[in-house]
C-alpha cells in the first residue's frame, strides 16, 4: 500500500468486510454501555442527583435548554473554525516555505519549539489580560494548539515525495509548479489528513478551554457558570454537547479521508 | 501468466516508432568524453569515454559501485560530471531533456500511488505537451495492460508496474531511453519475459537506449554493445559487440551462439571484477 522504506501515515482503512462490521458493533456497544454504566455508577455510589444527575435528567436539560446550548455551541464552533482556518493557512504557507527556503526552517524551528511546548493555559491568561473579553484570545489559543501538528505533518509530507518521481519530473523538464501540484502535494496529502485527525478535534477542545478561562459566551463559559450555580445537570449536558462536537469533527475528518483515499481499498476486479 | 505473452501478439500501426518530430537526417549520438565524477572525495567515474550511436542499444554492466548508474544519471542530466562532458547531439543533457528527447525508467517505478496506470502514463504528456506523442491508451494496451488502464499501482504486479513505468517513459516518444535496472526487482521468470518484451517493443523503434543491468544474459540478449565497467574508480574495462542476429527471442537463450556470447561477456565481467579488487 505504501511506498517501501517509508513511514507513511497511510490511512488505516479496514479492508475486510467482517472487520468493518465488528468495528461498527463495537461503537454500538459503547453507545449503549454509557447510560448503563452511568446508572450503575449512580446505584453503586448512591450520589444524590445534584452531584451525579441521572441520564434522563441530563436529557431533559438537553431538550428544555436547547436554545441556550445551541447559541453557546455556535460561539464555540465559530471560534474553533476561525482559529483552525488561520492555523491551516499559516502552517501550510510555512511548510511550503520550508521546502523551497531551507533557512526559513532553521529560523522557524526555535519558534515552533516554543509554541509547541509552552503551557498554553499560561499564554491564554496573558492573552486574556491583554485582549480582554473578545473572541481574539480564544482564536489565538486555537491557532497555538492546532498549528504545530499541521506544520509538522505537511512539512514531512512535502519532503516525502518519492525521489524517483522527482527525477522523472526533472528529466521531463517540468516546472516547479508542476512538481508541486503533481508530485509534492499528492505525496503530502495523506500526512495532511492525518494532521486533521489530531488537530481538528483539538480546535474544539482549545476553544472550550479558552472560554473556560474567561468568556461571556461559549460552551466553556457555560460550564463555569453552571458550576457556580451547582447545576451539575447542565455541566453534564454541556459535556455531552462538547464531546459530540469533538467526536463529530473527528468522524468528519475520517469520512473525508475515506472519500479521498477510496482508491486505496478498491479491490482487484 | 498472461502478462508474459500478451504484449508480443500485436504490433499496432500506432506503435513506438520514431515520429516526425525526430527527423532521420540528424544522426543522434550520446557522447561521453573523459567524464570524471566524484562524490565527496570518492571517485565514482574516471575518464570514461564512450560514443553511443543513433538507434543503438548499449548495456552498462559491472560490479556494484562501478558507476554505471552514475553514468546514466549524467546522461539524463540528473548529475553534473566533475570533469569532462557529456553531449547529446552536441548539446547538454539538460537541453536534451528540455526538448523532451529523454525518457527514463529506474528500478523502482516512478509512479504516483494516487493515479491510475493510464493517468500515470498521461502525466508525462501533461508535462511535455502532446506534440508528436503516442496515445497512452494504445501504448498500455500494446504493452498488454488493456484491462488494467484504471488500476492503481498497488493493484498491479511488479512486472506490470514496470511496464506502466516504461510506458510513462516512452509515451512522449523520446529519441533516447535511459533504463536503470528496470527489471532488477523482479523474479527470474518475469524478468526473462520482461527482457524479451522490451526487446520486441524496441525492435519496432529506432530509439537509442542505454540500459543498466546486473544480468549477463539480459545484457547479451538485448544489446548491440555491452560496456563492461570495473569499480573503484569506475572506468570502462571492455566494450563487447554482441554478434547475434536480430530478432532475438527467448528461444535464442538456449542457442549455442547465445551461450558463447554470454560466456564472452561473463569472462570480461570477471576480468573487470578482478581489476576492481
B21-39 per-position pLDDT tens digit: 444 445 778 999 999 999 9
Confidence grade of residue B3 (pLDDT, cut at 50, 70, 90): very low
Instruction: Choose the closest CB to B127 out of A172, A189, A268.
Output: A172
CA distance A110 to chain B (A): 31
- The pLDDT assigned to B29 comes to 87
Q: Which residues of A touch B76 (CB under 8 A)?
A: 167, 171
B166 touches chain A (CB under 8 A): no
- The pLDDT assigned to B26 comes to 58
A259 touches chain B (CB under 8 A): no
Task: Provide DSSP, chain A.
Answer: -PPTT----------SHHHHHHHHHHHHHHHHHHHHHHHHHHHHH---TTTS--HHHHHHHHHHTHHHHHHHHHHHHHHHHHHHHHHHHHHHHHHHHHHH-HHHHHHHHHHHHHHHHS-HHHHHHHHHHHH-SSHHHHHHHHHHHHHHHHHHHHHHHHHTS-HHHHHHHHHTT--HHHIIIIIIHHHHHHHHHHHHHHHHHHHHHHHHHHHHHS-SSSHHHHHHHHHHTT-HHHHHHHHHHHHHHHHHHHHHHHHHHHHHTGGGGPPP-
B151 touches chain A (CB under 8 A): yes
B244: helix, strand or coil: coil
Q: What is the pTM of this model?
A: 0.83
- The pLDDT assigned to A154 comes to 96
**Whether B221 contacts B252, CB under 8 Å:** yes
Q: For B177-191, what is the mean pLDDT?
A: 90
Q: Which residues of A touch B92 (CB under 8 A)?
A: none
Length of chain A: 269
Confidence grade of residue A87 (pLDDT, cut at 50, 70, 90): very high
In this prediction, the answer to ipTM > 0.90 reads no
B17 pLDDT above the threshold of 90: no
A262-266, B41-45, B78-82, B160-164: range with lowest mean pLDDT: A262-266
By C-alpha distance, the chain B residue nearest A268 is B155
CB contact under 8 A, A171 and B152: no
- The pLDDT assigned to B256 comes to 86
Q: What are the φ/ψ torsions at residue B211 (nearest 5 degrees)? A: -125, 130
Confidence grade of residue A6 (pLDDT, cut at 50, 70, 90): very low
CB contact under 8 A, A167 and B106: yes
- Span A166-221, pLDDT tens digits: 999 999 999 999 999 999 999 999 999 999 998 999 999 999 999 998 889 999 99
Confidence grade of residue A149 (pLDDT, cut at 50, 70, 90): very high
Angle at A236 between CA A230 and CA A242, to 5 degrees: 125
A229 pLDDT above the threshold of 90: yes
Neighbour-count burial for B161-192, b at 16+ CB within 10 Å, e otherwise: bbbbbbbbbbbbbbbbbbbbbbbbbbeeebbb
- The pLDDT assigned to A116 comes to 83
Mean pLDDT, chain A, as a whole number?
A: 89
Q: Which residues pair with B34 in a beta bridge?
A: none
CB contact under 8 A, B110 and A3: no
**Whether A232 contacts A53, CB under 8 Å:** yes
Q: Which residues of B touch A1 (CB under 8 A)?
A: 154
Taking alpha carbons only, the member of A35, A77, A39 closest to residue A211 is A77
Please identify among residues 174-213 of chain A the ones whose CB lies closer than 8 Å to any CB of chain B. 174, 178, 182-183, 186, 189
- Span B212-237, pLDDT tens digits: 999 999 999 999 999 999 988 899 99
- The pLDDT assigned to B12 comes to 39
C-alpha B200/C-alpha B215 separation (Å) is 18
- The pLDDT assigned to B196 comes to 86
A39-48, A232-241, B1-10, B142-151: range with lowest mean pLDDT: B1-10
Amino acid at each position: 500500500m505504501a511506498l517501501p522504506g517509508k513511514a507513511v501515515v497511510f490511512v488505516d482503512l479496514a479492508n475486510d468486510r467482517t472487520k468493518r462490521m465488528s468495528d461498527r458493533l463495537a461503537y454500538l456497544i459503547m453507545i449503549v454501555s454509557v447510560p448503563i454504566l452511568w446508572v450503575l455508577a449512580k446505584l453503586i455510589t448512591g450520589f444524590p442527583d445534584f452531584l451525579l444527575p441521572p441520564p434522563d435528567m441530563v436529557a431533559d436539560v438537553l431538550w428544555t435548554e436547547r436554545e441556550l446550548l445551541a447559541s453557546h455551541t455556535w460561539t464555540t464552533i465559530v471560534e474553533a473554525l476561525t482559529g483552525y482556518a488561520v492555523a491551516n493557512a499559516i502552517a501550510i504557507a510555512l511548510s511550503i516555505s520550508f521546502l523551497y527556503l531551507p533557512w526559513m526552517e532553521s529560523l522557524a524551528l526555535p519558534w515552533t519549539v516554543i509554541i509547541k511546548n509552552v503551557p498554553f493555559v499560561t499564554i491564554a491568561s496573558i492573552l486574556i489580560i491583554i485582549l480582554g473579553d473578545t473572541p481574539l484570545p480564544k482564536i489565538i489559543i486555537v491557532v497555538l494548539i492546532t498549528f504545530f501538528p499541521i506544520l509538522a505533518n505537511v512539512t514531512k509530507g512535502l519532503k516525502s515525495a518519492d525521489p524517483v518521481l522527482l527525477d522523472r519530473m526533472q528529466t521531463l523538464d517540468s516546472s516547479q509548479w508542476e512538481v508541486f501540484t503533481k508530485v509534492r502535494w499528492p505525496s503530502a496529502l495523506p500526512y495532511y489528513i492525518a494532521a486533521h485527525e489530531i488537530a481538528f478535534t483539538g480546535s474544539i477542545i482549545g476553544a472550550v478551554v479558552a472560554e473556560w478561562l474567561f468568556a461571556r459566551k461559549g460552551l466553556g463559559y457555560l460550564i463555569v457558570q453552571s458550576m457556580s450555580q451547582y447545576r451539575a445537570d447542565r455541566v453534564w449536558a454541556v459535556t455531552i454537547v462538547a464531546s459530540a462536537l469533538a467526536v463529530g469533527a473527528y468522524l468528519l475528518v475520517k469520512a473525508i479521508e475515506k472519500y479521498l483515499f477510496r482508491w486505496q481499498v478498491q479491490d482487484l476486479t | 501468466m498472461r502478462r508474459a505473452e500478451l504484449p508480443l501478439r500485436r504490433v499496432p500501426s500506432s506503435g513506438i516508432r520514431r515520429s516526425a518530430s525526430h527527423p532521420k537526417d540528424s544522426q543522434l549520438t550520446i557522447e561521453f568524453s573523459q567524464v570524471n565524477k566524484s562524490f565527496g572525495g570518492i571517485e565514482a567515474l574516471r575518464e570514461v569515454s564512450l560514443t553511443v550511436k543513433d538507434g543503438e542499444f548499449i548495456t552498462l554492466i559491472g560490479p556494484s559501485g562501478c558507476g554505471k548508474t552514475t553514468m546514466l544519471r549524467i546522461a539524463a542530466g540528473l548529475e553534473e560530471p566533475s570533469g569532462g562532458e557529456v553531449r547529446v547531439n552536441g548539446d547538454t543533457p539538460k537541453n536534451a531533456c528540455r526538448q523532451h528527447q529523454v525518457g527514463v525508467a529506474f528500478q523502482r517505478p516512478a509512479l504516483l500511488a494516487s493515479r491510475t496506470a493510464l493517468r500515470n502514463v498521461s502525466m508525462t504528456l501533461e508535462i511535455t505537451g502532446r506534440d508528436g506523442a503516442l496515445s497512452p491508451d494504445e501504448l498500455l494496451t500494446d504493452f498488454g495492460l488493456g484491462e488494467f488502464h484504471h488500476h492503481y499501482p498497488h493493484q498491479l504486479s511488479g512486472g506490470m508496474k514496470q511496464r506502466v513505468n516504461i510506458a510513462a517513459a516512452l509515451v512522449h516518444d523520446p529519441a533516447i531511453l535511459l533504463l536503470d535496472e528496470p527489471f532488477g526487482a523482479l523474479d527470474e521468470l518475469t524478468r526473462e519475459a520482461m527482457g524479451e518484451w522490451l526487446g520486441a517493443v524496441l525492435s519496432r523503434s529506432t530509439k537509442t537506449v542505454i540500459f543498466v543491468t546486473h544480468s549477463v544474459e539480459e545484457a547479451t540478449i538485448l544489446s548491440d554493445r555491452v560496456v563492461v565497467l570495473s569499480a573503484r574508480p569506475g572506468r570502462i574495462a571492455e566494450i563487447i559487440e554482441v554478434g547475434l542476429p536480430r530478432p532475438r527471442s527467448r528461444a535464442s537463450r538456449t542457442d549455442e551462439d547465445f551461450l558463447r556470447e554470454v560466456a564472452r561477456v561473463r569472462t570480461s565481467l570477471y576480468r573487470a571484477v578482478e581489476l576492481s579488487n
